[in-house]
Amino acid sequence: MAEPMNEPMNTAPATMGAAPSDKPAGESHPHDLHALGGVLAAAIRIVASLTLVSRLTGLVRDLLTAAIFGDTGVGSAFNAAFMMPNVFRRLFGEGALSAAFLPEYSRLRQESPHAAHQLASLTMRLLTLVTSAIVLVAEIALLGVLVFGKNDPERTLSIRLLMLMLPMMPMVCMTAILGGVLQSHGKFGPPAAAPIILNVMMAAGALAGFVWKDIPQTTSAYIVGVCAVIASVLQIVWSLLALRGLVAWTRAADAARESAKRVLKRFVPVLLGLGTLQLNTMMDTLIAMWPMLVGPTILGIAVTLDESSNAILSYTSRLYQFPLGVFGIAVAVAVFPLLSRTASHSVAFVDVLRRGVRLSLFIGIPASIGLVVVREDLVDTMFFRFSQSGLSRAALVVACYAPAVWAYSLNHVLTRAFYARGDTVTPMRVAMSMVGANFALNLILIWPLREAGLALSTGLCAMAQAFIVAWLARRKLGADVFDRETLGGCLKIFGVAVVMGALVWAIIHWLPVGGGRWGAITRLAVATIVGGLSYGAMSFAAGLEELRWLVRRGPAGAKADAMMME
């Protein structure tokens, strides 16, 4: 039913510059479209299942670090320092680098495997040199700030932690390139599992704060930071082991120079196009850290933010990133190789894109609704060491981030459709306009809403970007994403999700379990189980095709799953 991902499909090789085919719809065999759906579902199952494990270990990591640091200045400083390499992980590992590199590498694998090996080797060398140079310059600049700047303990801690974790940056870039190569060979399992190493190592470092009670918070922050750096090295080793026998690393580059130039030429537009959410997150963090890094005023006006703002914003943002990472990113990662390989076949390309959109919304919409409904019990369960004020503020942040989960997911899929057809400029222009809009909204909304204003501006811009990119896909790519059938499917998803949300709301408000932390945990557990089961049951009863796509298996589908796990 589904062909294995590392075998050429019955479509012509596609590159990012591939043009739409002029073949009439009748020339695309229906079996090919059926096979594409099977391959997509198999890839999503592999990536989503391993990403689920990764996100669960990530929740454990966050639970432990939040319990140690709480909504304190140390928590804000640690999360700000970890944000920089973490943003690079998301930009490179989950987006821009793979999106620029993978189509070119896939094309060379079909045309000249020797040149493909050279491209992978050359890209690894160049990227490592460039990012290492950036880290070196940044470390020297930060050292200068420490030596010649004002001696403020919280500011000093933030800078030292940033200096400790900055060396992760070139290593996450290397892991991203290796992950792109693995995906091109149909091995979605190892790159999806790599973040588990990071989460386990950081959780182990955080446990030191529980085992030895007298360790100061600042010392615990340094221990967890060291563990994160060690984990970055282990991720590279893990990826190289997974690639044994698939890539012949070489110093030669003569056959791959032009391909490398094309990858680098696309990289910046792709980085800006796919990195909107991460750039906005970075901007949000810098603004939230303003009281600690700069002072209590902006342009002479007292800010409503404080030393707890970034801890609250950073930890709370992980809650909406859980469903996004488990399923939203999984769909985008799985759909992009198929979009690239069908870029010259209009019917197959649009079919893959529509399936990707519907699968993104199938999880994104109920996730948005569910997170808003359970937000108070969720933050009470996860961040029990926060102050009462911190818990209330965190719940408001969730309420501002969560309504746009569907948009965060959709943007990853729609943007990759442009890249598969060779258009890196259109998504970049939309993304940059959204970054500008986010900055303006940040400066407006922080005054009445504090850090929740940063979350609300990010969510509003993500939703606006989704509508704009979907409209441009029809105009620029000739891909009518929301045709009548797709729109009808989306409306059915929304209807089922609303009913599920009403059921969860009733459980949260009427379940007789009392107050306190254990009451919150009980309500959250019951609401999550009932919500998930009811959504699945209602989806089946309503005949939602997305559920059938995800669970459909057969001999070929099982074979694809097995080969992708290798």
Please write the tens of the pLDDT for every residue from 326-360.
Answer: 777 778 777 877 787 787 788 888 888 888 899 99
The pLDDT of residue 322 is above 70: yes
What is the pLDDT, as a whole number, of residue 514?
78
**Do the domain assignments include residue 63?**
yes
For residue 163, the SS3 value is helix
Confidence bin at 42 (pLDDT 50/70/90) = low
C-alpha span between 39 and 31 (Å, rounded): 12
C-alpha span between 385 and 65 (Å, rounded): 10
The percentage of residues in the chain with a pLDDT greater than 70, rounded to a whole number, is: 85
pTM: 0.75
The pLDDT of residue 40 is above 90: no
**Do the domain assignments include residue 511?**
no
CB 390 within 8 A of CB 70: yes
Domain residues for 203?
A: 49-274
**Do the domain assignments include residue 88?**
yes
Nearest to 243 by CA among 177, 318, 304, 156: 177
Beta bridge partners of 298: 301
How many residues does the structure list for the chain? 566
More confident residue, 8 or 408: 408
C-alpha span between 566 and 551 (Å, rounded): 21
Confidence bin at 164 (pLDDT 50/70/90) = very high
CB 285 within 8 A of CB 438: no
Confidence bin at 101 (pLDDT 50/70/90) = confident
Secondary structure letter of residue 91 according to DSSP: I
Instruction: Tell me what the mean pLDDT of segment 166-181 comes to.
Output: 84
**Do the domain assignments include residue 296?**
no
Task: Please state the separation of Cα 513 from the chain's center in Å.
Answer: 35
Q: Could you give the residue ranges of the DSSP H alpha helices within 151-216? A: 153-165, 168-184, 189-211
- Cα angle 489-490-496, degrees, rounded to a multiple of 5: 90
What is the pLDDT, as a whole number, of residue 173?
79
Domain count, the chain: 1
Give 471-516 pLDDT, tens digit per residue: 998 888 877 888 888 899 999 999 999 999 999 999 999 998 877 8
Using CA atoms, how far residue 479 sits from 328, 353, 473, 476, in Å, is 21, 8, 6, 8
In the block, tokens 């979350």 appear at 455
The percentage of residues in the chain with a pLDDT greater than 90, rounded to a whole number, is: 31
C-alpha span between 74 and 315 (Å, rounded): 13
Nearest to 311 by CA among 371, 240, 382: 382
For residue 58, the SS3 value is helix
Nearest to 38 by CA among 9, 65, 77, 3: 3
What is the pLDDT, as a whole number, of residue 30?
39
In the numeric block, which tokens belong to residue 562?
Answer: 């097995």
What is the pLDDT, as a whole number, of residue 253?
75
In terms of Cβ atoms closer than 10 Å to its own Cβ (0-12, 13-18, 19+), residue 93 is buried
**Do the domain assignments include residue 253?**
yes
Mean of all residue pLDDT scores within the chain: 81
**Do the domain assignments include residue 92?**
yes
The pLDDT of residue 18 is above 60: no
C-alpha span between 39 and 133 (Å, rounded): 40
Nearest to 534 by CA among 380, 402, 373, 406: 373
C-alpha span between 479 and 342 (Å, rounded): 13
CB 119 within 8 A of CB 256: yes
- What's the longest Cα–Cα distance across the chain? 72
What is the pLDDT, as a whole number, of residue 3?
34
Secondary structure letter of residue 105 according to DSSP: H
For residue 544, the SS3 value is coil
Instruction: Tell me what the mean pLDDT of segment 49-78 comes to.
Output: 85
C-alpha span between 112 and 121 (Å, rounded): 15
C-alpha span between 228 and 206 (Å, rounded): 11
- Compute the chain's Rg from CA coordinates: 23
